[in-house]
Structure 1
Amino acid sequence: DLGDIDSTTGTVASKTINHANGNIVITINYAKKPVTPTPVEKGTVIVNYVDKTTGNTLETTTSTGNEGSNVNYSTKDTITKYTNRGYKLSHDGYPTGNVTYTNGAQTYTVEFVHDTVPVTPTDPGKPGQPINPNDPNGPKYPDGTGQTDLTKTVTRTINYVGDGLNIPASHTEIEFTGNGVLDKVTGQWTTPLTWTVKGGDSDSGNFEQVDGPKAD
Structure 2
Amino acid sequence: PINPDNPNGPKWPDGTDKNSLTKTVNQTIHYQYVGGQTAAPDKTDSTTFDHQVEVDKVTGKIVKDDGWSAENDKTSFDAKVSPVIAGYTASQASSTAVTGLTQDSQDNVQTIVYAPNAETANVTYIDDTTGKTLSTKDLSGAYGTTDPYRTNDTIAGYENAGYKLVSDNYPTSGVTYNEDSTVQSFQVHLTHSTTLTNETKIVTETIHYVYKDGTTAHDDYVAKPVEFTREVSTDAVTGEKTYGAWSAAQSFDAVKSPELKGYTADKAQIDKQTVNGDSKDLAFTVTYTK
Question: Same fold by TM (over 0.5)?
Answer: yes
* 1:86 aligned to which of 150, 162, 168: 162
2:226 counterpart (151, 174, 192): 174
Q: Report the Cα offset of residue 213 of structure 1.
A: 6.2
Map 1:41-190 → 2, pairs under 5 A: 41-97=117-173, 99-102=175-178, 103=180, 104-121=182-199, 151-157=200-206, 171-177=223-229, 179-189=231-241
Q: Distance in 2 between matches of 1:153 and 1:179?
A: 15
Instruction: Classify 1:85/1:170 alpha carbon distance in 2 versus 1 (closer, same or farther; 3 Å).
Output: closer
Q: TM-score, normalised by structure 1?
A: 0.57
Q: Does the CA contact (< 8 Å) of 1:44 and 1:64 recur in 2?
A: yes
Write 1 or 2 for the structure with the bigger share of strand: 2
Deviation readout 1:134-180 (Å, 9 max, x if unpaired): xxxxxxxxxxxxxxxxx44333355889xxxxx99664211234542
Paired with 1:183 and 1:170, the residues of 2 have a C-alpha distance of: 39
Larger Rg: 2
Question: How many angstroms does 1:45 deviate by?
Answer: 2.2
C-alpha separation between the residues in 1 aligned to 2:166 and 2:248? 32
Q: Which runs of 5+ in 1 are unaligned?
A: 14-27, 122-150, 162-166
Distance 1:57 1:170 in 2: 56
Question: What percentage of aligned pairs have identical amino acids?
Answer: 35
1:209 CA displacement: 1.9
Residue 51 of structure 1 aligns with an amino acid whose one-letter code is D
Distance 2:248 2:194 in 1: 22
Cα separation, 1, equivalents of 2:175 and 2:235: 35
Unaligned runs of 5+ in 2: 1-13, 27-47, 51-103, 211-218, 262-290
- The 8 Å contact of residues 203 and 227 in structure 2, kept in 1 or not, is answered as yes
State whether residues 157 and 172 of structure 1, in contact with CA within 8 Å, keep that contact through their aligned partners in structure 2. Answer: no
Please report the RMSD computed on the Cα atoms of aligned residues, expressed in angstroms: 4.0
TM-score (norm 2): 0.45
Relative contact order (C-alpha < 8 Å, sep 6+): which is higher? 1
